[in-house]
Every structure is written in C-alpha cells, then in structure tokens.
Amino acid sequence: MSTDTDIHDAYIHYVEGDISGENRGGTLALGFHGTGGSEMQMVPLLRDLLPAATIIAPRGDVSEHGAPRFFRRRAEGVYDMKDLARATTKLGDFIAAHVATMKPSRVVGLGYSNGANILASVIFSHPTLFTDAVLMHPLIPWAPKATAVRTRILITAGMNDPICPPSMTRSLESWFVSHATSVEVLWHPGGHEIAPAEAEGAAKFLRIQSRKG
C-alpha cells in the first residue's frame, strides 16, 4: 500500500519554495521536461514567468537509451499507450498529492515536447487539477476521451516543426475548443525548438490570468 510520502516522492524531483503547506494560497508551478532533459530543464523559464511561485519539477521515470522520458514510445510519434496510461495515473497522483498538501490558489503546468504530452494527458484525465497550462510543442496522436476541461490552455508550436506537424497542433486546439476550454495557440516560424516568442507569449498568458485573479 502506498503512503502519502511514497506518492510525494514518486519521482526524483526538484523543489524551489515552500511545499509544507504553511504558506497556503500561493501559486504552485510544475515543469515537465522534454526527451533527454532533466528535472531542471524548465525551471529557469518557470522562475522567470512566475518568480513568486513554488516550483516542483519531476524527472521522467522512463529511460530511452539513457534519455529520460515520462512514458515509453515505440517509434517517433507512436506511443506505448499502456505505459502512457500508467504514467498519467502516477504523475496525476504525484501532482494531486502536492496540491493537497500546499492548497495553492493556482496550479500552473509548463511542459515541452514529451513533457507537454504527459501534461496534456494528465489534464485530460484530471480536468480540474490545473488552473493554467502551457503546452510547448505537444504531439497528441490519440483521441482523448470526451471531458469538460476547466484549465486555461496555451499551445505553442513551430510552423516547420518536423516532430509535430501543424495539422496535429490544430487538431489538439480543436479538441480543447470543443470541450469548453479556453485555449490560445502561438505560432513561430521555426521548428521544434523553444523560440523567444514562446517565452514572451507564455509570460503574457500567465500575467493576464494573474490580473484576473
């Protein structure tokens, strides 16, 4: 039987700020790296975007020839759906446990590539867990189950991304729109890299929500 401690420490992860729950009501920001990245990959950007937030950034628990990932794949764009389901449940429980402890007023997710894919999958299965999410270059080649998502979404994408074709990005946008989600898409002319315009767009997206709150 898993304990609360087991769930909180289910992943090797980086923490910055208060996770004790003593200073409740702040922002919890979670970062999810791309294939081959580490738990630190998204931390500098999160720190710039949300300097007052508590940051938690897990390391994917799957190794692809030494490259950390959050779930297995059979080929580029061909996912091991059974392992994706496993990873979605495990990561969703990990995030929910920290949210229950901290009781933040806002939960923000930021994921790039493989990290964006697992973040999207968690949002599909936990539609009220995140208040805001930035999905950088996600590739969702499966049809999510119908559910009403309450997370504000920003998708960023490259018009010449060789890994995630624009048609797949538009398909994901359409899914969110059809499921009553507030979604924005920011395009840049490059490929799969994170462009400066994406960081600027994410800053604007998150700042607008802060003003509303």
Q: How many Å apart are CA 163 and CA 75, to the nearest integer?
A: 12
Q: State the residue for tokens 């049809």.
A: 143
Catalytic, 98? Answer: no
Residues 6+ away with beta carbon under 8 Å from 77: 139, 141, 163
Which one is catalytic: 8, 13, 179, 192?
192
Which one is catalytic: 33, 113, 137, 188?
113
Token output for 195:
């462009």
Catalytic, 8? Answer: no
Calculate helix-pair angle for 81-102, 114-125, nearest 10 degrees. Answer: 70
Strand partners, 108: 29, 132
Residues 6+ away with beta carbon under 8 Å from 113: 34, 35, 136, 137, 138, 139, 163, 192
Q: State the residue for tokens 């791309």.
A: 34
Catalytic, 9? Answer: no
Which one is catalytic: 33, 98, 161, 188?
161
* Residues with catalytic roles: 113, 161, 192
